[in-house]
Amino acid sequence: MAGENKILAEKILEQLGGAGNISAYTHCMTRLRVTPKDESLVNIAAIKKIDGVLGLVDEETLQIIIGPGKVNKVTEEFAALIEMTGGIDLKEKAAGKKAEINKKNATPFKLFLRKISSIFIPLIPALVASGLITGITKAVVQAGWLAGDSQLAIILSVIGSGLFSYLGILVGMNAAKEYGGSPALGAIAGILIINPAVAGIILFGEPLLPGRGGLIGVLFAAIFIAVVEKRVRRYVPQSLDIIVTPTVSLLITGIVTYLVFMPIGGFISDAITNGLTAILDFGGIFAGFVLGATFLPLVVTGLHQGLTPIHLELINSIGNDPLLPILAMGGAGQVGAAFAIYVKTKKPRLKRAIGGSLPSGILGIGEPLIFGVTLPLGRPFLTACLGAGVGGAFQAAFNIATTAIGVSGLPLAFLVTTGHVLLYLVGVLIAYAAGFVFTYLFGFKDEMAGEFD
């Protein structure tokens, strides 16, 4: 397996123009992200045809989709190949990063979403792990296999729930770091919001409510403390910086947080949660269909990156998230579409691409299928969206919700509220079936798959 990963890394690097053409690289859950020095040396068509490459996205960086788990190992081999040639020059890396940020499609809105993504994406493994432990523990207790007051159940619950009690600290830390401040001060900004002692503060005749403003308030406070820190540092002598700058930054941020950010954050949080719940209550099945059907286009454009704080805020405000099961149907509709293509196509390369991407799709990681199969083919992407809409309508009809966030697909069943797990899985199967039927009947003909010859 290690040899296969090395061979794949070598093939990718060759088509990228060699180690000397790489100014920066990293990876996420499914993609190797590369910034080439000279894009004219990159053979995108050849990269797409490499066995093991599930797709390619050319945006701010060149994003080569390899799949969860495997991308980590391939990136290690890729890094080793780069280091064999002397590594990446730091000055060139900085210049490449600056050029990346200054690209014409890096609009202020996209840059904002990228920052939101950078704040929350590093937390996803912890969110998934904590959510699954909590969800599985609840399921086992509900099934009667473990007593709810047993020490094992209590231990598992404490392990799983800890993150959600102190999530504001991690969000504050990442937010301050992303905006050029000290992570520790960002963590304190989060503590300002969630500290139980806040209940002892009375402003305008009313006691403050710990946690009021939620993660929205935390983001405001953490970004603000980063900005204040940088401004204060300009005027403080270097010899006094370690004492004066953090103290002044925290004092100013604390006062502004309790007077401004908590009330405003609470108002925005209420608007988001009340607005979404009203849409689902009023729109019902129709709202579920529209939300489910439009999620895959959000993923393609990157706009889904801004939804993580909304999911978390729903859980924080109303105790569950009715939006996530609906949006999870996007991946399910696409799985059904991929099955239909697999059944109809006679092209071995397309079958291999689907076979390599389907397990990830079933487990809730849909990008390999999106960018490697349905989106390049065109029409199957639309029929997958229709299948997702049918699944979303079902989830909305039965008011399915989750108690935490995590990957979608089948694993999300462990996070669904008590008593609704079976209904959620039925909705997944319905989205599979709808995506399959729409694609098989209207979405795919083998001649559409010319690039997979």
Give the residue numbers annotated as catalytic, written as ranges: 28
CA angle 362, 49, 37 (to 5 degrees): 105
Distances in Å between the alpha carbon of 333 and those of 298, 358, 381, 429? 15, 12, 9, 9
Of the candidates 38, 18, 27, the residue with the CA atom closest to the CA atom of residue 84: 18
Bridge partner list, 34: 25, 62
State how far Cα 116 lies from the chain centre: 10
Distance CA 52, CA 69 (A): 13
Residue (of 352, 280, 351) closest to 314 by Cα position: 280
Tokens of 273: 């949660």
| Token couple for 340 | 């239909």
The rounded distance, in Å, linking the Cα atoms of 129 and 415 is 11
